[in-house]
Structure 1
Amino acid sequence: MTSEITLFVNPAAGRGRGARAAQPAAAALRDAGYAVRTVVGNDADDALVRARTAVEGGTGALIAVGGDGMASLALQAVAGTDVPLGVVAVGTGNDFARATGLPVRDPAEAGRVIAEALKAGHGTSVDLGRVGPAGGSEDSGGSGGDGRWFGSVLASGFDSRVNDRGNRLKWPTGRFRYDLAILVELAALRPIPYRITLDDGEPQEIEATLVAVGNGPSYGGGMRICTDARMDDGLFDITVVGECSRTTLLRVFPRVYKGTHLSHPAVTVHRARKVTLEADGLTGYADGEPVGPLPLTAESVPGVARVLTPGPR
């Protein structure tokens, strides 16, 4: 493995923490003897092109510095290759880093963990989801050649409508924008007719508030919507929140942070290698990023990426 590694930086992550975090992370890696090259794109598309160029050029590792969006972008470059992924998590959510046992909002420690993993040659092979328009080619696992990799959760329903509305609002700013979006969507809450197909089974027609497809357990900064999802079993945990009132949703919602919502009678969980979600007027969000309108098909792909994680202590 080459001693040159690539820092993949989102300077805007965490209100500027991304740019600040790159320096202590790079210092820890250089202290460990690695040559560090930094890649910053003009936008997401340009950044991904640069990251893929680094991977194809044989970089020793791709280190994403930022939040879940940056980690997800890095996954698009390393999935299916021999190049390991490191994550310096300094964003708002950091769900992927938490799920893989990496330090959060401690860039110097994250840099040390990554350096130790590289020197020891260890890391964790993880499954990823691949999602794309339903009816894609068999060669791409049913999710189409232009499918997107995701590490945490594919969201649809109430939560994706909140994201849609929050992204449209120009005021207020920051998290308050999404708080307002939640209130507006609660006022408009209604059951969504879904058509769900698990693996090669028959389609099921249900009414649901949301459906979340978990490669990992959490999204939105620690909401454990798919509590028991594992990244090494080749299966999704698919959490279905059925039809419920505003009062019930507000009562159950706080339980998501501890993962105790799964015992509520409105919640069911399925496990499957592949799932197709169909519903009118819904956008799917993978790792917090918009994928496109339903219908979408997602498939779990085992061990397709290697993450540089802490070794045994």
Structure 2
Amino acid sequence: MTCDITLFVNPTAGRGRGAHAARPAARVLREAGFHVRTVLGEDAEDALRRARAAVAAGTGALVAVGGDGMVSLALRAVAGTLTPLGVIAVGTGNDFARATGLPVRAPEAAARLVARELKGDGGRPVDLGRVGETYFGTVLASGFDSRVNDRGNRMRFPTGRLRYDAALIAELAALRPIPYRVRFDDGPEQRIEATLVAVGNSSSYGGGMRICAGARPDDGLFDITVVGPCRRSTLLRVFPKVYRGTHLSHPAVTTHRAARVTLEAEDVTGYADGEPLGPLPLTAETVPGAVRLLGAR
């Protein structure tokens, strides 16, 4: 174990919580005997480049301070390497941290856990999903939810949460089933109509929506949730159940498990960890033990 570790910080995460959390986290890690350097980026691309440079230079651990977006960049930097990942989860959603049993919005507790794991067994391996060269830790979304994101990203007004709400209402008005072509592992291509298809390496996205409630990031398989064609009224009734994971028993919902899934549909963008991957078709595959996570349960 090297005593040099890197804090990978998003200062704007959680409306500024990232910047505030970095200081107590760094203090705890220094008090534990580690030499801590901090990496910031001018934008996501620059931040990822700097994180990868720290990993290539032999940092003893990369510790992401922020929300799911920052964690996603960190996962891409360490996936397939021997560098362990720590997470100081202080963002808005923190879905990856919750799924792996890490402290949320408790930077000192999270930093103590990182320090203890680095001095102990160095964490445990967890799975990631991969599309091309891009890794993800939570959920690949496609269909209704990704179209809401598309519309929200195009809108300039309103701002904040109201933008998402306005995009959701607009997409509800335009709700139509989407013709998909889907293949699980080496099975036959299936033609289905669906409202959305979500591919879960872990259980939730969007700040606690447990769309793939049974997914575990340590079993080498995705949990795939397919919401079939449904009316607006049905979707609105089922939507609140997503936070408890009880939507999976609804007749419109089917679930599958696979290590690889291919999705094809016209005019649908795939999003993973909340970030756009590009238009379908996309093939996602599990990468067992792709990252060594500090403190995961």
TM range (shorter): over 0.9
Check the 8 A contact 1:114/1:310 in 2, yes or no: no
Match of 2:157 in 1: 171
Alignment of 1:115-130 (within 5 A): 115-130=115-130
In 2, Cα distance between the equivalents of 1:124 and 1:173? Answer: 40
Matched, 1:305 2:291: yes
- Between the aligned partners of 1:185 and 1:35, the Cα distance in structure 2 is 49
Show CA shifts across 1:132-187 (max 9, x none).
Answer: 3xxxxxxxxxxxxxx21000100000000011111111122211211111111111
Partners of 2:124 and 2:115 lie apart in 1 by: 14
What's 1:215 paired with? 201
Check if 1:2 corresponds to 2:2: yes
Counterpart of 1:18, as a letter, is G
- 1:193 has 2:179 as partner: yes
2:251 aligned partner: 265
Structure 1 residues 225-244: aligned runs within 5 Å: 225-244=211-230
Residue aligned with 1:213, SS:
strand
Instruction: Measure, in 2, the Cα distance between the counterparts of 1:82 and 1:242.
Output: 41
TM-aligned CA deviation for residue 192 of structure 1: 0.4
Matches of 1:81 and 1:300, distance apart in 2: 16
Give the equivalent residue in structure 2 for 1:202.
188
2:242 aligns with 256
4+ long deviations beyond 3 Å: none
Work out which of the residue numbers 134, 143, 146 in structure 2 matches 1:148. 134
Distance 2:91 2:193 in 1: 34
Structure 1 residue 55, shift from structure 2 partner: 0.4
The alpha-carbon deviation at position 310 of structure 1 amounts to 5.7
Query: Equivalent residue for 1:56?
Result: 56
Q: How well do the aligned residues superpose, as a CA RMSD in angstroms?
A: 0.9
Q: Offset of 1:124 from its aligned partner?
A: 2.1
| Equivalent in the alignment of 1:142 | none
Stretch moving more, 173-182 or 260-269: 173-182
Contact 2:124/2:296, CA 8 A, preserved across alignment: no
* TM-score, L = length of structure 2: 0.98
Contact (CA 8 Å) 1:117, 1:310: kept in 2 or not?
Answer: no
Given candidates 119, 136, 144, the residue that maps to 1:158 is 144
Aligned partners of 1:113 and 1:310 also within 8 Å: no
Contact 1:217 1:227 in 2 (8 A): yes
Ranges in structure 1 where 5+ consecutive residues have no aligned partner: 133-146
Cα offsets for 1:191-227 (capped at 9, x unmatched):
0000001111111000000000000000000000000
Count of aligned pairs between the two proteins: 297
| Aligned twin of 1:284 | 270
Q: Distance in 2 between matches of 1:310 and 1:51?
A: 21
- What is the letter of the counterpart of residue 17 of structure 1? R
Once the 2 structures are TM-superposed, how far is the Cα of residue 35 of structure 1 from its aligned partner? 0.6
TM-score (ref. length: structure 1):
0.93
Cα offset for 1:19? 1.0
Q: Write the distance in 2 (CA, Å) between the matches of 1:213 and 1:34.
A: 38
Could you tell me how far apart the structure 2 residues matched to 1:28 and 1:83 are? 20
Q: Give the whole-Å Cα distance in 1 for the aligned partners of 2:265 and 2:120.
A: 47
Q: Counterpart in 1 of 2:34? A: 34
Amino acid at match of 1:225: I
Instruction: Give, in angstroms, the shift of residue 121 of structure 1.
Output: 2.3
